[in-house]
């Protein structure tokens, strides 16, 4: 079982739109006229590929496979395990993405320190810089670091230590700094990122070692590099948070071995990222009893979380009033504002609406609709929402409230935190009934 480097293969530039081949880079594809879509790719000999397939192909009878459960390694960080679906699966390739400075390296360094025999490959920082970070978390911890950017050298080294039984986990920080000599494009280019990821994936599957990759995101919030990167890896985790707040939310956007709606909550402190065991309490810590503030109960995986939603509604001086949401989808906000205007008769057409979800959480569940609507109504009317009320419900286009899943779990989380009134479909059929019950 050895890993073969593809050093002998030639590379071509291939148009990602129409498949046109060119031996050199071209800004515009001569066949389909698209711009900037030629990506350097290693071309394998056609005959060799077919032969390889025939030799390796093997039909497997699934009933002969004994154990369907994956062997999982615990990270010893509960919030991290939760997002992974119960721990790291052997042989999996996990991508951790996030904005620069959000804490990816810190979290993965902590992960490396929690497990034995971890190799931390860094193309981004020197061993000295990594030591500074390690010393903040656990002074003088003996972490094995490899400063290298050539993916083939890295793979060779991993094979070497793996054959001596020395590696449980490999962390690569970051995939954008890696390169292979088989391609001439620069590190971070689509071709390089894609090829390096493929090579690491082959390594992970062949040796059954889990590999974590750090990936940067672009200004638009997309993973830098091709979308195919997300297809290749088994798990995509994203670390999010408002840089001005200490909260960091880890969520999985793809997981071949677990749920994708779980979130892990951390707080960035002096000694690394600390898990937050009771996030609802922390999110509501700074809540004030004032117009424009509402509490919603959302569900993330198997856990219910309470979040504060704040809104401010003010007279607009623009011909097209603004609807700006932080932590909620802007289209959803537009829609809910239209429902409020039509069904409750609120004159919002010349009002700017700003909505913010505290704690840096992103709400993608319709069950938060009622909370968002109530925060807006409360700010518009300058009337606070009842102190002990939590709002749960999806809002339909006719202004009706709709059932949400697992209402009991949400209500019990609210009770734990001292809320005594739950405004949901059980007590209000539509928005106007909910408004009557919720406002002071
Ligand atoms: P880092 O993990 O380097 O971010 P990324 O790899 O995502 O770019 O984290 C950078 C920030 O975290 C930096 O501003 C310093 C801060 N930090 C702490 O607040 N506490 C700590 O214990 C550590 C190690 C970093
Ligand atoms: Mg980093």
**Burial class of residue 55 (count of CB atoms within 10 Å of its CB; 0-12, 13-18, 19+):** exposed
Q: In angstroms, what is the span from residue 271 Cα to ligand 1's centroid?
A: 10
Q: Are 188 and 224 in contact (CB under 8 A)?
A: yes
Through-space distance between the first and last CA atoms of the chain, rounded to whole angstroms: 70
How far from the centroid of its chain's Cα atoms is residue 271's Cα? 23
Q: In angstroms, what is the span from residue 359 Cα to ligand 2's centroid?
A: 22
In the structure, ligand 2 is a single-atom ion and the residues with CB under 5 Å from it are 105
Q: What is the mean pLDDT of each run of 10 residues along the chain (440 residues)?
A: 56 84 88 86 54 62 72 91 92 91 94 92 93 94 93 92 79 92 84 90 90 81 64 91 85 88 90 90 86 94 90 95 94 96 95 91 91 97 95 96 93 92 94 92
Architecture in CATH of 281-438: 2-Layer Sandwich (3.30)
Atom 23 of ligand 1, residue of closest alpha carbon:
272
Which atom of ligand 1 sits closest to the CA of residue 137?
A: 22
Which atom of ligand 1 sits closest to the CA of residue 106?
A: 2
How long is the chain?
440
Structure tokens at 355: 């909505």
Distance separating alpha carbons of residues 28 and 267, to the nearest angstrom: 46
Q: In angstroms, what is the span from residue 201 Cα to ligand 2's centroid?
A: 21
H-helix or E-strand containing 378?
Answer: helix 369-381
Atom 21 of ligand 1, residue of closest alpha carbon:
272
Ligand 1: list residues with CB < 6 Å.
98, 100-106, 133, 136-137, 268, 270-272
Edge-to-edge order in the sheet of strand 21-22:
21-22, 10-15, 38-43
Per CATH, the homologous superfamily of domain 70-275 is P-loop containing nucleotide triphosphate hydrolases (3.40.50.300)
Structure tokens at 76: 């010893």
Which atom of ligand 1 sits closest to the CA of residue 271?
A: 22
Q: Give the residue from 408, 438, 436 showing the smallest Cα distance to 304.
A: 408
Q: In angstroms, what is the span from residue 188 Cα to ligand 2's centroid?
A: 15
Q: Are 322 and 351 in contact (CB under 8 A)?
A: no
Q: Are 254 and 67 in contact (CB under 8 A)?
A: no
Write the CA distances from 437 to 129, 270, 418, integer angstroms.
56, 44, 18
Q: In angstroms, what is the span from residue 38 Cα to ligand 2's centroid?
A: 29
Q: Domain ranges in the chain? A: 1-48, 70-275, 281-438
């Amino acid at each position: 079982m050895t890993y073969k480097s593809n050093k002998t293969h030639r590379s071509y530039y291939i148009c990602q739109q129409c498949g046109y081949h060119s031996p050199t880079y071209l800004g515009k594809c001569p066949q389909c006229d698209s711009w900037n879509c030629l990506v350097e790719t290693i071309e394998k000999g056609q005959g060799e590929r077919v032969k390889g397939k025939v030799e390796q192909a093997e039909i497997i009878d699934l009933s002969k496979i004994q154990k369907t459960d994956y062997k999982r390694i615990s990270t010893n960080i509960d919030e991290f395990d939760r997002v992974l679906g119960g721990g790291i699966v052997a042989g999996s390739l996990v991508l951790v993405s996030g904005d620069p400075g959000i804490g990816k390296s810190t979290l993965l360094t902590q992960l490396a320190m929690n497990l034995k025999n971890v190799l931390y490959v860094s193309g981004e920082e020197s061993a000295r810089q990594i030591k500074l970070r390690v010393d903040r978390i656990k002074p003088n911890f003996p972490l094995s670091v490899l400063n290298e950017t050539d993916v083939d050298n890295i793979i060779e080294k991993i094979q070497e230590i793996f054959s001596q039984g020395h590696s449980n986990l490999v962390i690569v920080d970051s995939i954008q700094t890696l390169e292979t000599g088989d391609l001439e494009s620069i590190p971070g280019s689509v071709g390089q990122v894609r090829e390096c990821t493929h090579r690491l994936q082959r390594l992970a599957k062949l040796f059954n070692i889990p590999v974590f990759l750090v990936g940067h995101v672009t200004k638009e919030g997309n993973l830098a590099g091709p979308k195919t990167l997300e297809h290749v890896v088994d798990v995509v985790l994203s670390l999010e948070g408002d840089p001005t707040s200490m909260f960091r939310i880890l969520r999985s956007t793809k997981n071949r071995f677990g749920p994708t709606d779980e979130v892990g909550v951390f707080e960035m402190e002096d000694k690394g990222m600390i898990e937050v065991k009771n996030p609802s309490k922390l999110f509501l810590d700074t809540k004030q009893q004032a117009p424009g503030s509402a509490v919603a109960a959302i569900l993330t995986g198997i856990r219910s979380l309470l979040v504060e939603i704040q809104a401010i509604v003010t007279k607009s001086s623009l011909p097209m009033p603004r609807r700006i949401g932080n932590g909620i989808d802007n289209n959803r906000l537009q829609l809910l504002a239209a429902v409020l205007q039509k069904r409750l008769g609120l004159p919002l057409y010349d009002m700017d609406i700003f909505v913010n979800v505290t704690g840096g959480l992103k709400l993608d569940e319709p069950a938060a609709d009622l909370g968002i609507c109530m925060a807006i109504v409360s700010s518009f009317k300058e009337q606070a929402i009842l102190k002990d009320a939590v709002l749960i419900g999806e809002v339909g286009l006719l202004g009706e409230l709709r059932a949400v899943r697992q209402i009991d779990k949400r209500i019990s989380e609210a009770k734990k935190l001292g809320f005594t009134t739950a405004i949901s479909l059980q007590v209000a059929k539509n928005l106007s009934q909910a408004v009557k019950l919720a406002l002071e």
